[in-house]
């Protein structure tokens, strides 16, 4: 991790302009960069999951049992990954078999624009609508089919539903694909009919490239399919058959539980934690993305506490005293922003940003206090005012 963290630190400093002495974890949080450990475990979890979706003929898949065996000595890195994910049932994952499709093989075309296609062949028409549902911790799908035989005979309408399994094993997208697979098996052998599959899930349609997601033409049929899908996910519904766990659902759950959190270490970044209790978080992108590099550097100094102020410069033996030039107190970020008498004339705009939170360092620097609720967002106007104040004083300028 050492060499990688040095690269991480350089990247974070290039983004926000923090000092070289800022801890890597704090710089990463300010720049909204995932830690090396976090990225490693995300990749490791995906690799272990991918191995279990390989066919049994693959040597990697056959070797997973031996990897999981306990050995007192000479444990491989893969063993530690397997041990971290031992609570997840990987053996029931879906098998993803490789296949080839030649460019000249004919493909059924998809219509994702909702435009009617001209009827080119005489015969019957058959429309099959698909829909999925995920509720009550269950996933299922519904199907509604409308069959118009040749010679204008009476329409035939059929509906049915299927409960696939628990939400922890399946997802709406896999239910949509399962419905398509079921329908395609159902229509095998039907001749003299133009068959159209209807779905409101555009992602599924584009995945298979053989579906028509025209909503305007068959809203009623899709509505019936949705009713069947909801019926499949009632509270008392039971899966009709055992289906494999979906890779995507298992991977998301495994990552959320097995991947280490990106929280700042307990003994690092005390000033940053006091300023912003939401670190690390996506809100730092709001703070830095719109700033010029000079402005970002000023904000990073104030938020990390490692700034060109005597309070910090004295700690690294650059100046002899930590006292402010005003002679009133130690020159800290709070003293510089709110109390130093030298900059009273420059502080007008900063004080006008709020009447109730004056002197609040978290508010002024875009941070979250522990008393703020979950809907909290940084006040960018106050942050801009703090940056302009610091730049106007010239106190944080390199000499």
DSSP tag of 69: S
Which pLDDT belongs to residue 186? Answer: 85
Both 308 and 345 in one domain: the answer is: yes
From 235, 261, 287, give the residue that closes a domain: 261
Look at residue 116 and tell me if it is in a domain.
no
Look at residue 166 and tell me if it is in a domain.
yes
Look at residue 48 and tell me if it is in a domain.
yes
Which pLDDT belongs to residue 398? Answer: 73
Nearest C-alpha neighbor of 244 from the set 55, 23, 30, 385: 55
From 261, 296, 331, give the residue that closes a domain: 261
Nearest C-alpha neighbor of 194 from the set 144, 130, 123: 123
DSSP character string of 363-380:
HHTT---TTS-TT----H
Look at residue 13 and tell me if it is in a domain.
no
**243: pLDDT confidence band, cut at 50, 70 and 90?**
confident
Nearest C-alpha neighbor of 60 from the set 35, 90, 37: 90
**CB burial of residue 194 (10 Å; 0-12, 13-18, 19+):** middle
Look at residue 10 and tell me if it is in a domain.
no
Residue 50 belongs to what domain range?
36-95+244-261
Of the listed ranges 41-55, 216-230, 232-246, 261-275, the one predicted with least confidence? 216-230
Evaluate if residue 215 carries a pLDDT over 60: no
Both 294 and 338 in one domain: the answer is: yes
Nearest C-alpha neighbor of 275 from the set 360, 371, 336: 360
**Coil, helix or strand for 330?**
strand
If residue 194 lies in a helix (H) or strand (E), which one and from where to where? strand 193-199
Evaluate if residue 251 carries a pLDDT over 70: yes
From 261, 295, 327, give the residue that closes a domain: 261
In angstroms, the CA 154 to CA 149 distance is 7
Average pLDDT of span 381-395: 94
Which pLDDT belongs to residue 258? Answer: 86
Look at residue 335 and tell me if it is in a domain.
yes
Q: Could you give phi then psi for residue 108, rounded to 5 degrees? A: -75, 130
Evaluate if residue 108 carries a pLDDT over 80: no
Both 308 and 252 in one domain: the answer is: no
Which pLDDT belongs to residue 209? Answer: 56
Both 91 and 128 in one domain: the answer is: no
Both 252 and 290 in one domain: the answer is: no
Start-end of H helices in the chain: 2-16, 24-31, 36-51, 59-62, 64-68, 77-84, 172-186, 202-208, 219-232, 247-258, 270-275, 283-288, 293-304, 310-313, 333-334, 348-352, 361-364, 380-393
Both 302 and 331 in one domain: the answer is: yes
Both 340 and 306 in one domain: the answer is: yes
Average pLDDT of span 140-148: 90
Percent of the chain with pLDDT over 70: 92
Both 283 and 255 in one domain: the answer is: no
Both 288 and 376 in one domain: the answer is: yes
Q: Are 305 and 26 in contact (CB under 8 A)?
A: no
Average pLDDT of span 155-177: 89
Evaluate if residue 213 carries a pLDDT over 80: no
Edge-to-edge strands, sheet with 124-135: 156-166, 138-148, 124-135, 193-199
CATH number of residue 191's parent domain: 3.30.420.10
Both 229 and 256 in one domain: the answer is: no
Look at residue 109 and tell me if it is in a domain.
no
Evaluate if residue 211 carries a pLDDT over 50: no
Of the listed ranges 69-78, 174-183, 335-344, 387-396, the one predicted with least confidence? 69-78
Entry pTM: 0.73
Q: Are 321 and 314 in contact (CB under 8 A)?
A: yes
Structure confidence by residue, pLDDT tens digits, 129-139: 999 999 999 99
- Total tally of structural domains belonging to the chain: 3
Both 231 and 251 in one domain: the answer is: no
Both 233 and 314 in one domain: the answer is: no
Look at residue 112 and tell me if it is in a domain.
no
């Amino acid at each position: 991790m050492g060499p990688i963290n040095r690269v991480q630190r350089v990247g974070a400093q290039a983004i926000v302009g923090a000092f070289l002495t800022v801890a890597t974890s704090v710089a990463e949080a300010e720049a909204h960069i995932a830690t090396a450990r976090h990225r490693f475990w995300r990749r490791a979890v995906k690799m272990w999951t991918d191995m279990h979706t390989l066919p049994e003929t693959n040597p990697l898949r056959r070797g997973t049992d031996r990897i999981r065996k306990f050995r007192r000595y000479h444990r491989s890195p893969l063993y530690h990954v397997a041990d971290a994910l031992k609570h997840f049932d990987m053996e029931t994952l879906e098998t993803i078999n490789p296949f080839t499709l030649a460019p000249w093989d004919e493909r059924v075309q998809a219509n994702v624009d909702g435009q009617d296609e001209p009827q080119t062949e005489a015969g019957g028409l058959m429309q099959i609508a698909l829909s999925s549902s995920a509720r009550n911790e269950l996933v299922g799908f519904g199907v509604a089919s409308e069959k118009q035989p040749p010679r204008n005979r009476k329409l035939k309408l059929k509906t049915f539903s299927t409960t696939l399994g628990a939400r922890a094993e399946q997802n709406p997208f896999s239910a949509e694909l399962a419905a398509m697979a079921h329908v395609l098996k159902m229509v095998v052998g039907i001749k003299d009919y133009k068959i159209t599959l209807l779905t409101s899930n555009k992602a599924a349609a584009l995945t298979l490239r053989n579906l028509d997601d025209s909503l305007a033409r068959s809203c009623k049929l899709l509505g019936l399919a949705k009713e069947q899908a909801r019926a499949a996910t009632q509270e008392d519904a039971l899966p009709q058959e055992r289906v494999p766990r979906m890779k995507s659902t298992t991977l998301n759950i495994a990552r959320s539980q097995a991947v280490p959190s990106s929280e700042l270490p307990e003994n690092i970044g005390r000033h940053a934690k006091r300023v912003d209790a939401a670190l690390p978080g996506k809100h730092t992108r709001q703070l830095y993305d719109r700033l010029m590099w000079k402005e970002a550097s000023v904000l990073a100094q104030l938020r990390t506490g490692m700034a060109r102020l005597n309070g910090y410069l004295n700690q690294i033996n650059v100046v002899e005293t930590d006292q402010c030039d005003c002679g009133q107190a130690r020159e800290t970020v709070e003293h510089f922003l709110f109390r130093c008498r030298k900059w009273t004339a420059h502080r007008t705009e900063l004080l006008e940003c709020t009447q109730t939170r004056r002197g609040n360092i978290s508010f002024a620097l875009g941070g979250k206090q522990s008393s703020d609720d979950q809907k909290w967002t940084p006040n960018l106007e106050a942050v801009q005012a703090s940056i302009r104040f610091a730049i106007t004083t010239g106190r944080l300028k390199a000499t």
